[in-house]
Amino acid sequence: MKSHNLKNPLQSSVIILSLQISTIHIAPPLALFMIKQRMVAKYDLSSLTTMVSAAAPLGKTLSEELVEKLNLPNMQLRQGSLHFVEH
């Protein structure tokens, strides 16, 4: 799979749309950006079924705002982290 270096967080919406991504790992700053940017609402992100906050907890209020802003009432928001182990 091709890797994307997102210099502008709005690019994530374009990539989700074009690749029909179903699961993403986000950090609270990206969630906040997606809530505050009006342009994000212009993209059909309905392919998203799961978001995982992997850097820090989003919190209940931020989670609810994100689901409402993206108009994805059935999307699962999960809290978790990614752990990499070197051998």
Beta pairing partners, 26: 53
Residue 2 predicted with pLDDT over 80: no
- The answer to whether residue 5 is domain-embedded is no
Query: Could you read off the pLDDT of 50-65 as tens digits, one per residue?
Result: 988 877 788 889 989 9
The verdict on residue 51 lying in a domain is yes
Note whether residue 3 is domain-resident. no
Q: What is the mean pLDDT of the chain?
A: 79
Model-level pTM? 0.70
Predicted confidence at residue 11, as pLDDT, reads 74
CA gap 25, 53 in Å, rounded:
6
The domain that contains 55 carries what CATH number? 3.40.50.980
- How does DSSP classify residue 67? H
Residue 14 within a domain? yes
pLDDT of 18-36, one tens digit each? 888 898 888 888 888 888 8
Residue 15: count other Cβ atoms within 10 Å of its Cβ: 13
- DSSP annotation string for 7-50: SSTHHHHHHHHHHT--EEEE-HHHHHHHHH-GGGGGS--TT--E
> What domain range includes position 44?
10-79
Total structural domains in the chain?
Answer: 1
